[in-house]
Chains A and B, each alone.
Chain A
Amino acid sequence: MLIIDCPNCGPRPETEYGYGGQAHVAYPEDPHALTDEEWAQYLFYRDNPKGDYAERWVHSAGCRKWFNAVRDTRTYEISAVYRTGETRSETQKGA
Chain B
Amino acid sequence: MNQRELPEHPDFLWANPEPKRSYDVVIVGAGGHGLATAYYLASKHGITNVAVLERGWIAGGNMARNTTIIRSNYLWDESAAIYEHSLKLWENLEEELGYDVFFSQRGVLNLAHTLQDVRDSVRRVEANRLNGVDAEWVDPQQVKELCPIINVGDDIRYPVMGGTYQPRAGIAKHDWVAWGYARRASELGVDIIQNCEVTGFVIDGGRVTGVETSRGRINAGKVALCAAGHTSVLSELAGFRVPIQSHPLQALVSELHEIIHPTVVMSNHVHVYVSQAHKGELVMGAGIDSYNGYGQRGSFHVIEHQMSAAVELFPAFSRAHLLRTWGGIVDVTMDASPVMGRSPVDGMYVNCGWGTGGFKAVPGAGFAYAHTIATDEPHELNRGFGLDRFVSGALIDEHGAAAVAH
Contacts and interface: CB of A to CB of B under 8 A. Distances in A.
Please indicate whether A and B come from the same complex rather than being unrelated chains.
Answer: yes
Interface of A: 1-2, 13-15, 18-19, 21, 36-37, 40-41, 43-50, 53, 55, 71, 73-76
Q: Which 3 A-B pairs have the closest CB atoms?
A: A48-B232, A19-B290, A44-B243
A interface, by DSSP: helix, strand, loop or mixed?
mixed
A49 B291 contact: no
Interface string B383-395: 0000000111000
A43 B334 contact: yes
Contact of A73 (B290, B293, B301, B390): B293
Most-contacted residue by chain B among A48, A49, A73, A75 (CB, 10 A): A48
Contact of A50 (B233, B290, B334): B233
Given A50-B230, A73-B246, A36 B392 contact: yes
Contacts of A76: 291, 293, 295
Contact of B292 (A13, A40, A45, A53): A53
30 contacts: A2-B299, A13-B301, A14-B299, A14-B301, A15-B301, A18-B290, A21-B292, A36-B392, A40-B391, A43-B390, A45-B242, A45-B243, A45-B390, A47-B241, A48-B242, A48-B244, A48-B246, A48-B292, A49-B232, A49-B233, A49-B236, A50-B230, A50-B294, A53-B292, A55-B292, A73-B292, A73-B294, A74-B294, A74-B295, A75-B295
Interface in B236-294: 236, 241-246, 290-294
Nearest to A74: B294
Nearest to B290: A19
B300 interface: yes
Contacts of A50: 230, 233, 246, 294
A20 to B, nearest CB: 9
Nearest to A46: B245
Interface of B: 230, 232-233, 236, 241-246, 290-295, 299-301, 333-334, 390-392
A19 B287 CA distance: 15
Nearest to B245: A48
Contacts of A44: 243, 333-334, 390
Contacts of B292: 21, 48, 53, 55, 73
A71 B294 CA distance: 11
A1 B391 contact: no
A36 B290 CA distance: 28
A66 to B, nearest CB: 14
A36 B391 contact: yes
Contacts of B301: 1, 13-15
A14 B299 CA distance: 9
B248 to A, nearest CB: 9
A75 B245 CA distance: 17
Given A49-B236, A50-B233, 18 more contacts: A2-B291, A19-B291, A21-B292, A36-B391, A36-B392, A44-B243, A45-B242, A45-B390, A48-B233, A49-B232, A49-B233, A50-B294, A55-B292, A73-B294, A75-B295, A76-B291, A76-B293, A76-B295
A53 B391 CA distance: 25
A73 B244 CA distance: 15
Nearest to A39: B391
A51 to B, nearest CB: 8
